[in-house]
């Protein structure tokens, strides 16, 4: 004789409770249709989850739970994993480096506090605000954000933060093929669309040590096009955020005045490219520099990539691995102090690191002061390159800041172009 466990009595207001009991008994006796089984399971789901209330969504979930007892556990674990993942991403994105930036980057140079130009390479956040409010700049300042669009996998500053009123100017917007620049006319138009004009100083910011030196690339592009009043925000977006926090978040004056002054037309007219070709080298130039070493000329070619790339690794799709002949290995982040403060190292420290780099010529002057002295009789040409001319452009900016006692150039085609041209025999 078949036995069955007693079913729980129907809940108050559960009109399907009696039907559930009846179907349950018939189910145990084997005398039931398929439709009755579905109705029975549905009734069980309603009673276990909803207490008899007619809540279709809840009961659909419960119906699945009746069919699979483990779904609740799986769903809960999945939800917890998702929450943990978003928390981790949030912390990664919002994590800021522990900088301790100097108040005046020019002071780092000590007795070398000069520049190749009459405009500072690096400006602080405080200086940026002062420039915007200064009467000598009636048109204000154009601020460019060189960082890529933020996403869940970048650490380029706390999520969503930027200098209010800045225009996005990522380096790929200005490149035609790999790292090679578009035409001068196209570049001038693109920068003009972002608020660049002859009478407005430009300040470019990026992610500093946490990025790829993109702010250096935009700085170099504008310097090459002949804009004489362009600077890099020292410390990047992190320095800006810290300055705002230290002043109670009061950066509104800068934002409002920026918007007001952007409406003023520049009396100097549109931004017209006046290319300074000494700041840019091509594949043919690099080949020529390698062949023209003499007693009166020294070409110091610096590879700003990581050491493993210099040794042959090709993580970014180059035709083959290796480096330009006679190039020394000087990863671009070597320009920063090793103490983690985020400060640019002194010119003497940078020169010492360059001299001790793998591949460095043995006849380089022993000190930066000696280099400056030797440059009076010998022409020293510094050429920086990397994979696509981005990291090397930050090195270009730093060498300009030191200042390098001679010509400083960036190779925008860099290893992407050089490995392809030298492999195919291009000229």
Q: How many other CB atoms are found less than 10 A from the CB of residue 355?
A: 18
Q: How many residues does the chain have?
A: 427
Give residue 79's pLDDT. Answer: 81
Tokens 């006319």 sit at which residue?
Answer: 185
User: Are 49 and 72 within 8 A, CB to CB?
Assistant: no
Write down the number of H helices and E strands in the chain. Answer: 15, 12
Give residue 16's pLDDT. Answer: 46
User: Are 63 and 77 within 8 A, CB to CB?
Assistant: no
Q: Kindly report the pTM of this predicted structure.
A: 0.76
Positive or negative torsion for Cα 53, 54, 55, 60: positive
Give the residue from 233, 234, 221, 215 showing the smallest Cα distance to 337. 234
User: Are 43 and 17 within 8 A, CB to CB?
Assistant: yes
Tokens 């043995």 sit at which residue?
Answer: 362
Largest CA distance in the chain: 114
- Per-residue tens of pLDDT for the chain, all 427 residues: 444 555 555 444 444 444 545 545 555 555 555 555 556 556 555 555 444 444 454 445 444 544 455 567 777 777 888 777 665 554 444 467 889 999 999 999 875 555 555 789 999 999 998 888 888 888 889 999 999 976 544 444 554 578 888 999 999 999 998 999 999 999 999 999 999 999 899 999 999 999 999 999 999 999 999 999 999 999 999 999 888 888 766 664 554 445 566 667 777 778 999 999 999 999 999 988 877 766 688 899 999 999 999 999 999 999 999 999 999 999 999 999 999 999 999 999 999 999 999 999 998 999 999 999 999 999 999 999 999 999 999 999 999 999 999 999 999 999 999 999 976 655 4
User: Are 235 and 125 within 8 A, CB to CB?
Assistant: yes
Give the residue from 418, 425, 173, 171 showing the smallest Cα distance to 318. 418
- What b/e string do you get for 58-94 counting C-beta neighbours within 10 Å, with b at 16 or more? ebebbbebbeeeeeeeeeeeeeeeeeeeeeeeeeebe
C-alpha 86/C-alpha 64 separation (Å) is 27
C-alpha 162/C-alpha 290 separation (Å) is 42
Both tokens of residue 165?
A: 């009123």
Please, what is the angle between helix 184-193 and helix 214-225, to 10°?
A: 120
387's enclosing H/E stretch is none
Residue 285 exposed, middle or buried by CB count within 10 Å (0-12, 13-18, 19+):
middle
Beta-carbon contacts of 78 under 8 Å, excluding residues fewer than 6 positions away, are none
User: Are 414 and 386 within 8 A, CB to CB?
Assistant: yes
Which DSSP state fits 306?
-
C-alpha 137/C-alpha 195 separation (Å) is 15
């Amino acid at each position: 004789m078949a036995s069955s466990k007693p079913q729980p009595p129907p809940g108050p207001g559960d009109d399907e409770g009696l039907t559930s009991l009846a179907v349950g008994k018939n189910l145990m006796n084997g005398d039931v249709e398929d439709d009755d089984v579905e109705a029975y399971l549905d009734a069980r789901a309603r009673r276990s989850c909803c207490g008899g209330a007619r809540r279709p969504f809840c009961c659909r979930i419960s119906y699945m739970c009746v069919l699979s007892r483990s779904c609740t556990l799986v769903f809960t674990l999945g939800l917890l994993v998702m929450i943990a993942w978003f928390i981790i991403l949030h912390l990664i994105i919002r994590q800021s480096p522990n900088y301790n930036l100097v108040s005046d980057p020019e002071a780092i140079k000590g007795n070398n506090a000069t520049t190749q130009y009459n405009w500072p390479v690096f400006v602080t956040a405080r200086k940026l605000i002062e420039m915007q409010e200064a009467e000598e700049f009636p048109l204000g300042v154009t601020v460019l954000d060189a960082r890529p669009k933020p996403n869940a996998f970048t650490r380029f500053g706390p999520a969503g933060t930027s200098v209010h009123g800045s225009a996005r100017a990522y380096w790929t917007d200005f490149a035609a093929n790999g790292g090679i620049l578009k035409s001068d006319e196209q570049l001038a138009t693109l920068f003009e669309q972002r608020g660049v004009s002859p009478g407005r100083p430009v300040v470019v910011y990026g992610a500093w040590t946490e990025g790829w030196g993109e702010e250096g690339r935009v700085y170099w592009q504008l310097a090459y096009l002949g804009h004489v009043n362009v600077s890099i925000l020292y410390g990047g977006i992190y320095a800006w955020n810290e300055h705002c926090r230290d002043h109670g978040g009061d950066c509104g004056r800068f934002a409002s005045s920026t918007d007001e002054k952007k409406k003023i037309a520049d009396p100097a007219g549109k931004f017209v490219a006046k290319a300074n070709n000494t700041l840019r080298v091509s594949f043919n130039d690099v080949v020529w520099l390698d062949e023209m070493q003499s007693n009166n000329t020294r070409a110091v070619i610096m590879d700003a990539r990581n050491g493993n790339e210099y040794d042959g690794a090709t993580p970014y799709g180059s035709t083959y691995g290796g480096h330009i002949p006679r190039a020394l290995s000087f990863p671009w982040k070597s320009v920063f102090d090793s103490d983690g403060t985020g400060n640019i190292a002194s010119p003497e420290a940078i020169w010492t690191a360059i001299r001790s780099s793998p591949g460095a010529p043995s006849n380089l002057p022993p000190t930066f002061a000696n280099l400056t002295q030797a440059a009076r009789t010998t022409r020293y040409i510094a050429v920086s390159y990397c994979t696509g001319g981005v990291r090397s452009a930050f090195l270009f900016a730093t060498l300009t800041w030191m200042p390098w006692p001679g010509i400083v150039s960036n190779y925008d085609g860099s290893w992407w172009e050089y490995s392809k041209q030298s492999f195919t025999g291009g000229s």
